[in-house]
Amino acid sequence: MAVKFKGVIPPVSIMFDQQGKFDPRSMEKVIDFLIDSNVDGLFFLGSGGEFTQLSSTERKEIAEFVIQYVDKRLPILIGTGSTNTREVIELSRHAFNQNADGVVVINPYYWELSEENLYLHYHEIANAVEGPILLYNFPALTGQSIPPHVVLRLVKKHEHIVGIKETIDSTAHIRDMITTVKAEYPDFSVLAGFDDHLFNTLALGGDGAISASVNFAPQLSVDLYQAFRTGNYKTAMELHQKLAQIPTLYQLEIPFISVIKEATKMCSLDIPTYVQPPARMVSEKKREQIRNVLRQIGLIEKR
């Protein structure tokens, strides 16, 4: 069995109008742009997809729309994470009923769980859901990391747990996930969550990235991945050095969801930049700071 999810997969920004309503026409524009940029899949309703600011009903409606619109042009992943196990199961079943190719499940946030309770959370989800599941490790937001030995235990029990999104600023953790889980199950996907860990993850034997900059600068990650695969490591390293500057953007606003939308508007597409509260749209001062960073990286022209 080959690796099911690999390459460059954007965590797609969800489009809303100025009244906070889902904007299907702008969503179509974003989807078409990303598909035309030669990405390898699309991940909706992750952190950058504002899932934490949406109701279950809204999440289902958006999932239904994007799956129907993409219409099998690329593999689709739907984020179904929640603070409670029952809701994860409900959202995951819904996603697969709509023909999603996989679901991405962040570990519960607010409560820190014992390792056994963390294992049981995913074990119960996997027992109740038949389609491919990717775990989602983002300890900076959930309060705890998913240990590689827990992942290995889950993968041994459930063959449809097929990968993990590693949004962790630790090459050592990514390495341990690869040497612990992927070494025993080569078809298990290990995908970087941070832009500046794509090169590291590939070099360690991982499979790609699900990182925010793909929304506004897909060419950097797509070209890096292709250069690495073809052995053009000089080009891959040059692109890695550009990607390494991207996190500077994310420091300009917390959460940085609005920064991604503003950068997308500046670099690529005329889209609405509304974000769901408690996130907020950026000020004009911060908008200029975003422009300056994008100019420094070479993503938009200097004055």
Average pLDDT of span 193-220:
97
Q: Does the pLDDT of residue 2 top 80, yes or no? A: no
Name the phi and psi angles at 234, rounded to 5.
-65, -50
As a whole number of angstroms, the distance between CA 189 and CA 205 comes to 10
3-state secondary structure of 3: coil
- According to the model, what pLDDT value does residue 1 have? 60
Q: Could you report the per-residue pLDDT of 37-69, keeping only the tens digit for each?
A: 999 999 999 999 999 999 999 999 999 999 999
As a whole number of angstroms, the distance between CA 279 and CA 243 comes to 25
Average pLDDT of span 214-222:
98
Q: Could you report the per-residue pLDDT of 243-260, keeping only the tens digit for each?
A: 999 999 999 999 999 999
3-state secondary structure of 20: coil
- Side by side, the strands of the sheet bearing 11-12 are 7-8, 208-209, 189-192, 161-166, 133-137, 102-106, 76-79, 42-44, 11-12
Average pLDDT of span 24-36:
98
* Catalytic annotation, residues: 47, 110, 136, 165
Confidence of residue 95 (pLDDT cuts 50, 70, 90): very high
Q: Which residues in the chain belong to E strands, given as ranges?
A: 7-8, 11-12, 42-44, 76-79, 102-106, 133-137, 161-166, 189-192, 208-209
Burial-class residue 213 by CB neighbours within 10 Å (0-12, 13-18, 19+): buried
Q: Does the pLDDT of residue 301 top 90, yes or no? A: no
CA-based angle 71:85:160, to the nearest 5? 50
- According to the model, what pLDDT value does residue 58 have? 98
Q: CB–CB of 166/173 below 8 Å?
A: yes
As a whole number of angstroms, the distance between CA 8 and CA 221 comes to 7
H or E, element range at 200: helix 198-203
- According to the model, what pLDDT value does residue 4 have? 87
Q: Could you report the per-residue pLDDT of 7-20, keeping only the tens digit for each?
A: 999 999 999 999 99
Average pLDDT of span 89-107:
98
- According to the model, what pLDDT value does residue 303 have? 62
DSSP structure string for 237-274: HHHHHHHTTTHHHHTSSSSTHHHHHHHHHHHT------
Confidence of residue 88 (pLDDT cuts 50, 70, 90): very high
As a whole number of angstroms, the distance between CA 41 and CA 257 comes to 20
One-letter identity of residue 176 = D
Q: Could you report the per-residue pLDDT of 156-201, keeping only the tens digit for each?
A: 999 999 999 999 999 999 999 999 999 999 999 999 999 999 999 9
- According to the model, what pLDDT value does residue 302 have? 73
pTM above 0.85, yes or no: yes
- According to the model, what pLDDT value does residue 225 have? 98
